[in-house]
Structure 1
Amino acid sequence: MTAAPPYLRYEEIRRSALADLDAYEKLTRDQAARLRLGRLRDHVAYALSASPYYSERWSAHRGTVIDHLDDIRKLPFTTKRDLREAYPFGLVAVDRREIVRYGESTGTTGSPTSSVITYEDWIRGNVAVERSVGHVFGPGDLVFVAIPYELAFASYDLDRALEQAGAGVVAVGTLSRVCPFERMVEMMWRVGPTGLVCTPSRALRLYDMLADSGRDPAEVGLRTFLYVGETCSPAKLAKIADLWGVRLSNAYGSTETNSLGLVCAAGSLHLTEDRHLFEVLDPETAEPVPDGTAGELVLTTLVSRAMPLLRYRTGDYVTVSGEPCVCGSPNRVLAHHGRVGEQLVHGGRRINKLALEEVVLSTEGTGLYWAAGITDDGLVVKVETENGDPGGLCAAVTRRVEDAFGLRPAVSPIDRAQVRRAMDRMLKPGSLGLDDLAAVS
C-alpha cells in the first residue's frame, strides 16, 4: 500500500517528533554526541550525493571518513557567496514536489539567498519551537507577532507554535501597508495583547508611539516580550523590560536554517544540537576557539532533507558555553553578540558593536537610543540623554568608552525624532548607524 503523503500525516509526525524530543532531552552529553556523530556521517554522505551544488563542487570529498565530530573539519566551508551562487535551487536535494515552504533573505546586505523545507522537517522543527514558546505563552495569551511574514519562515514558525501552545495569535507583521505602526499601536491599545514578538528596537518604538499619543503603555497589559531578529545588549534589554514591565524571552535562527537557538524553562538559550552540528571558530584564522570564547558560529545540518548545509559560516559572532543548565538539557547554551562584519574598526582596533552598546546604555542617565560609526574623526557615538545635563552625560560616556576600549570617542546627543524617522524606514532597525541618521536628517 502506498504511504500517505506527509501533509496527511500531521498528527503522526507531530507525535513522533515530540517523542523524539523527549527522548533526546533525557540523554547525557556523551550520548547526545554519539547521536550527532551517527547523524553527521549519514548527512554528509547524503549532501554530497543528493545536493546538486555539493555533488558537483565537492565531488573530491565523497567518501570522507567521519569517525569523530571533529572530522567535519576535513571539509571546506559553505559561505553566503556559495548560497548566492546556488540561488534559487542549486542546494535543493529533494524533488520540488516535496517542498512545502520556500523563503528568501531580505537582501539588505547583497543578493538574496533562498531556503526550502520539506513538510516533515517543517513540522519537526515547529514542535521544538512549540516546546520553547510554551514556557512563556499558553491559553489566555493573545500575542502580537510583529515580524515580517513576507518570504519568511520565522513568523509562520512562531505563529504555528504559539497556536499549538494554546495562545491566540494576531499576525500584525511589520512595515506593512495593511498594518503600519500607527494601526498596530491603536490595536495594542484596544485589543490588549499579553504578548509581543518583534525586534527589541521595534518594542521601543511601539512604546514611544503609545506614550506620545498620551496613553500609558502599562495599561496595554503586556506581560511577555519575545525578541527575535536583532542582537541586543543586557543594558538595552533591561531598559525594555523596565519600560514595559514585562518578562523577556528570545529565539535565534536564520533564513537558511530556521530555528538554531531556543529558550528552555529556565530561560537559557540552547543550541538545537539535535538537528545541527555547531562549531565556534576564530573569524580570521578559522581555527576553533576554547569553550566560552567568542567566535563565528559555523553549522552543519544533521536532518535537513530539502537543503543540507555543510560547514556554513553564519557570520554570527557568538559565545557557546558547555556549563550544564539547570533544565538538564544536553544542549549547550548560546550567547549571540551580533554579526562578525558589524565590528567597528579604527586604528587597528576592533570594537564589537554590542559590547559598545552595553557600555553606552549602561551609563547612568542614558536614554533608549544611540548610534555609532567610524568617520574621518575616529569613533563617533551619539546618545540620547534623559537628564538635564547632556554635556555631563556625554563626558561620562566618553570616559567609559575610553576605559573599556582604549579609544577616545567623539560623543554628542542624538535627536530622538531623527532616530524615529530612521527606524521607521529600516527592515532591521537594530543596526542603526550614522549613515541611517544622515539619510533622514
Structure 2
Amino acid sequence: MAILDHTPAAPTTTVPAPAPDRARERHSALRETAQAELHAFEALGRTRVRSWQLDRLREQVAYARRESPFYRRRFAAGGLPDGTDGDELLRRLPFTTKDDLRDGYPFGLIAAPLTSLVRYGESTGTTGSPTSSAITYQDWVRGNVSTELSVGQRFGPGDTVFVAIPYELSFAAYDLDRALETVGATVVGVGILSAVCPIERTARMIATLRPAGIVCSPTRALRLFDLLTEMGHDPAELGVRTVLYVGETCSPAKLAKISRMWQAELISAYGTTETNSLALSCGHGRAHLTEDRHLFEILDPATGTPLADGTTGELVLSTLVAQAMPLLRYRTGDLVSVDPEPCPCGSVRRTVRHHGRASDRLVVDGRPIDRLDLEESVLSVPGTGLYYAAGVRDGLLHIRVECPDRPARQVCAEIADGIRARFRTDATVTEVDRATVGRAMDRMLKPGNLTLEDLEAAR
C-alpha cells in the first residue's frame, strides 16, 4: 500500500526542479493521498471497517517482520505461521509493552532507514526510563491531515489560538501547531514551563490578544483563569470560545466547572508519545479514534481478555500503516471506554473516553479506585473548588481539597460520606488553599497529576 511503498516516484521531467519545489510537490502529493485514503475509509460503513483493518494488519505484520529487527526476532522466537490471518492473526500476536520500548531505546523498534526519519521524540521519563518514538515524512503528513480535519471544525482564518503544551520532545504541539496554521488560524506557540514565556506572561498575552482558543491541559486552563482573575481580568469576557485539552484526563464535574468559568466549550484530543494522535474531536465535541491508522482493542488489564464497548479497560493498539515504527498489540496502559452508539456527526470511527492510566489507580484495602471516578466524587460536592489531591498513606485514603464557597468542615464531611458510600472505604479529607496549589502547579510539567507530596513541597 502507498504508505509502505519505498519505491521512489517516477520523475515528471528530465530537468530536476529546484529543491524547494520538489519538497512542495512531495508534500502536496502525500497530503492528497492521505486525504483520499481518509475519505475512502469514512465511506466504508461500520460493517466493513473490521475486515479493512484486518487486511491492513496483515500487511503491517509482514512489513514489521521484514523491516523491524525487534519484530523479526520476536516472530522468529514465537513461531507465528505465515498463513495466519484475520482475527486469528490478531489473537496470536504477542503483546508489545512499554518495557519493550525502554529496552529498545533509542532505535530498537525502528523499521525504516534512519535517513528517512523526519521527527524523533521521547517520553518525559516522569514514570520511568524514557521511551523513544520516530516518524517518517509519510507518517507525519498522514497524521497532520487527521488533525487538520479535527481543528478545522473549530478554528479558521481570523482566529488566534494559543498552544500551551510542551514543544520539547513530543509531537503533539507541533502537530496541532501545523494543523492550526494550515486551516488559517494565527498560532501563538507559548509552550509551558519556559523561562522565556512563564505562565504569567502567557496569561498577560491572552488578555492582550484575546484568542479564540487555547490548547492546554485542563489544570493549566484553571491556573490561567486564576492568574487572569488576579490581574483584574474577567476571563469569560476575553473571547475564548474553545479550550482544546490534552495531556490529562478530566472528570465531567471538573470539565463542567472549567466550561462555566471560561464560558467556553471544552473538547479533547488524546494520544501518546509513541503514536502521536489516537483520538480527535469532531464538530459535536466527541473524540473519534484514529481507526484508519490503528486497530484498537479494549482488554481487561489483569487478564488481557476482550471487553465490550462501553466497558472501561486498557487500550491496546496495533498500527496499520506506520512506516517508521510499527507497533503490534501495544499495551498503552491507558484506561478507556468506547461508546457503543454512533456519533451524530456520521463518522464511521468510534468515539472514546479516556479515564487515565491503569497505574494511576489508588489501591485502598486491596480495592482499586480510578482517579477519574474519585475526582468526580470529590468535585461534584457543592462548595468544592477546582483543585484536589489524593494519595494513600498507611492504608488510608487522604484527600486535600479546595473549599472556597462553603465551610470547609461541612464540605470535607460530605466528601468523606460520598466516598464511603461509593467506594466503601473511609477517607481523611482536609482543606487546601489555592495559593499552595498554585505554587505546586507552576513547577509541574503535568499539573493534573498533583499529589499530596507536591502540595507539601509547595508549602
TM bucket (normalised to shorter chain) is: over 0.9
Are 1:29 and 2:46 matched, yes or no?
yes
Q: What letter is aligned with 2:70?
A: Y
Quick one: which of 106, 125, 142 aligns to 1:124?
142
- C-alpha distance in 2, partners of 1:75/1:380? 41
Deviation at 1:64, TM superposition (A): 4.5
Q: What letter is aligned with 2:57?
A: L
- Identify which range, 91-100 or 24-33, moves more after superposition: 24-33
- C-alpha distance in 1, partners of 2:88/2:191? 41
Deviation at 1:65, TM superposition (A): 3.8
What is the DSSP-based 3-state SS (H/G/I as helix, E as strand, rest coil) of the residue aligned with 2:95?
Answer: coil
Please name the residue that 1:165 is paired with: 183
Deviation at 1:393, TM superposition (A): 0.8
Are 1:222 and 2:245 matched, yes or no?
no
- Identify which range, 308-317 or 28-37, moves more after superposition: 28-37
Please name the residue that 1:11 is paired with: 28
Deviations 1:323-353 (A, max 9, x none): 2211222211111100000000011111001
What is the DSSP-based 3-state SS (H/G/I as helix, E as strand, rest coil) of the residue aligned with 2:454?
Answer: helix
Deviation at 1:322, TM superposition (A): 3.0
- C-alpha distance in 2, partners of 1:8/1:102? 24
Deviation at 1:306, TM superposition (A): 0.4
Quick one: which of 135, 149, 164 aligns to 2:153?
135
What is the DSSP-based 3-state SS (H/G/I as helix, E as strand, rest coil) of the residue aligned with 1:44?
Answer: helix
Please name the residue that 2:221 is paired with: 203
Contact 2:383 2:406 in 1 (8 A): no
- C-alpha distance in 2, partners of 1:416/1:70? 54
Quick one: which of 26, 49, 67 aligns to 2:66?
49
Q: What letter is aligned with 1:47?
A: A
Please name the residue that 2:290 is paired with: 272
Deviation at 1:265, TM superposition (A): 1.9
- C-alpha distance in 2, partners of 1:65/1:6? 40
Q: What letter is aligned with 2:65?
A: L
Please name the residue that 2:426 is paired with: 408
Are 1:146 and 2:164 matched, yes or no?
yes
- C-alpha distance in 2, partners of 1:223/1:415? 29
- C-alpha distance in 2, partners of 1:312/1:438? 36
Q: What letter is aligned with 1:85?
A: D
% of aligned pairs identical? 57
Contact 1:25 1:328 in 2 (8 A): no
What is the DSSP-based 3-state SS (H/G/I as helix, E as strand, rest coil) of the residue aligned with 2:221?
Answer: helix
Deviation at 1:81, TM superposition (A): 0.6
Quick one: which of 407, 411, 418 aligns to 1:393?
411
Please name the residue that 1:259 is paired with: 277
Quick one: which of 327, 330, 337 aligns to 1:309?
327
Contact 2:105 2:132 in 1 (8 A): yes
Q: What letter is aligned with 1:121?
A: D
Distance of aligned partners of 1:58 and 1:71 in 2 relative to their CA distance in 1, 3 Å threshold:
closer
Deviation at 1:57, TM superposition (A): 3.0
Please name the residue that 1:63 is paired with: 81
What is the DSSP-based 3-state SS (H/G/I as helix, E as strand, rest coil) of the residue aligned with 1:229?
Answer: coil
Structure 1 residue ranges, 4+ long, deviating more than 2 angstroms after superposition: 1-8, 60-71
Task: Report the count of equivalent residues.
Answer: 441
Contact 1:367 1:384 in 2 (8 A): yes
Please name the residue that 2:110 is paired with: 92
Query: Gaps (5+ residues) in structure 1?
Result: none
Deviation at 1:404, TM superposition (A): 1.0
Quick one: which of 415, 418, 423 aligns to 2:436?
418
- C-alpha distance in 1, partners of 2:269/2:70? 30
- C-alpha distance in 1, partners of 2:316/2:228? 40
Deviations 1:84-130 (A, max 9, x none): 11011111111111101111111111111111101011101110110
Deviation at 1:219, TM superposition (A): 3.1
Distance of aligned partners of 1:43 and 1:213 in 2 relative to their CA distance in 1, 3 Å threshold:
same
- C-alpha distance in 2, partners of 1:377/1:395? 20
The CA RMSD over aligned residues, in Å, is: 1.5
What is the DSSP-based 3-state SS (H/G/I as helix, E as strand, rest coil) of the residue aligned with 2:386?
Answer: strand
Deviation at 1:6, TM superposition (A): 6.8
- C-alpha distance in 1, partners of 2:247/2:383? 27
Query: Gaps (5+ residues) in structure 2?
Result: 1-7, 12-21
Query: TM-score if structure 1 supplies the norm length?
Result: 0.97
Please name the residue that 2:3 is paired with: none
- C-alpha distance in 2, partners of 1:236/1:276? 30
- C-alpha distance in 1, partners of 2:441/2:451? 10
- C-alpha distance in 2, partners of 1:376/1:55? 47
